[in-house]
A = this chain, B = another copy of it.
Amino acid sequence: MTNFKDRVRELVTEKASVLCIGLDAALPRQRALNVVPEAYFVDADDNEGRLNFSLNIMSQTALFAVAIKVNEQYMRGLTAIQHRRLTEFAHQHKLVAIYDSKLGDIRDSVESALFHYHEWGYDGITFNPLAGNLKEVVQIARKFEPPIGILVLTLMSNPEAEKYMRHAVVDGKPMFMVVAEEVRECEADGCIVAATGHVTEEDIKAIRRVVGSDRILLVPGVGTQKGNPEKVLRAVGRNTLIVIARDVIYSDNPGNRALEYSRSLRPLAQL
């Protein structure tokens, strides 16, 4: 079977898009704005409602997107069967399914988590590198068929992320650069690098330089989080996925919004 990186590349070329739809399916009672419409919960429980909303978003956007990112913090409580419905639907629509779990744990627990992600049908996951065991995790992820792609949190968007990711220093280098080196050396599939807040064009270029052109950069923060698309377009290089979540999924016309993003980001698909 095709590995994660190759599958992403194939779809980027085929669809001429680098768009990854972020499925942040919030329940109506959970907050005031940006929630799944009430209509999805008529005669459906929390799980069915969030699942059907997600399937509907995929139907509308799949022509213009190459991946979905399922945010665990919003999709908590779905069963294995429901996750499988979600990933099978994604695959039928030629979308790579990324589970945004920010996994970070000791070996036995990582093995258990990957066992479940694999049964649920996800192609790739997000990983928190704090426990230092990326090499081991990549090796475990490779044993599955197909191998599970590992995308590593490298530089996050929130202002406080600088505290450790930038200001913690290993051998004179900021932590995010050491994480990028670890991604290259351990042959992980790529990095998650925000495109907003304290993250500069130079930061993104430096990370790309370290990991090389063949790794995936997964870049959130361009939509609602107010990332600067020009900065991103200049810095990320080829093999990039741009995540747009609420700007697409909670818009009046998700298909049109996805098309607009896909077009404005098309130069990245043609690098």
**Which A positions have Cβ atoms within 8 angstroms of B?**
24, 26-27, 30-31, 46-47, 71-74, 76-80, 83, 102-113, 115-116, 120, 128-133, 135-136, 153, 156-158, 160-165, 167-170, 175, 178
Contact = CB atoms under 8 A, between A and B. Distances in A.
A143 to B, nearest CB: 12
Given A77-B83, A77-B116, A161 B109 contact: no
B102 A105 contact: yes
A133 B156 CA distance: 11
Given A31-B115, A74-B109, A168-B175, 11 more contacts: A31-B111, A73-B116, A102-B104, A102-B105, A106-B157, A130-B161, A131-B156, A132-B163, A133-B158, A164-B170, A164-B175
Nearest to A221: B106
State the oligomeric state as a number of copies.
2
Main secondary structure of the interface of A (DSSP, over half): helix
A48 to B, nearest CB: 11
A47 B78 CA distance: 11
A150 to B, nearest CB: 15
Contact of A77 (B79, B107, B167, B175): B79
Contacts of A24: 108-109, 112
Nearest to A220: B106
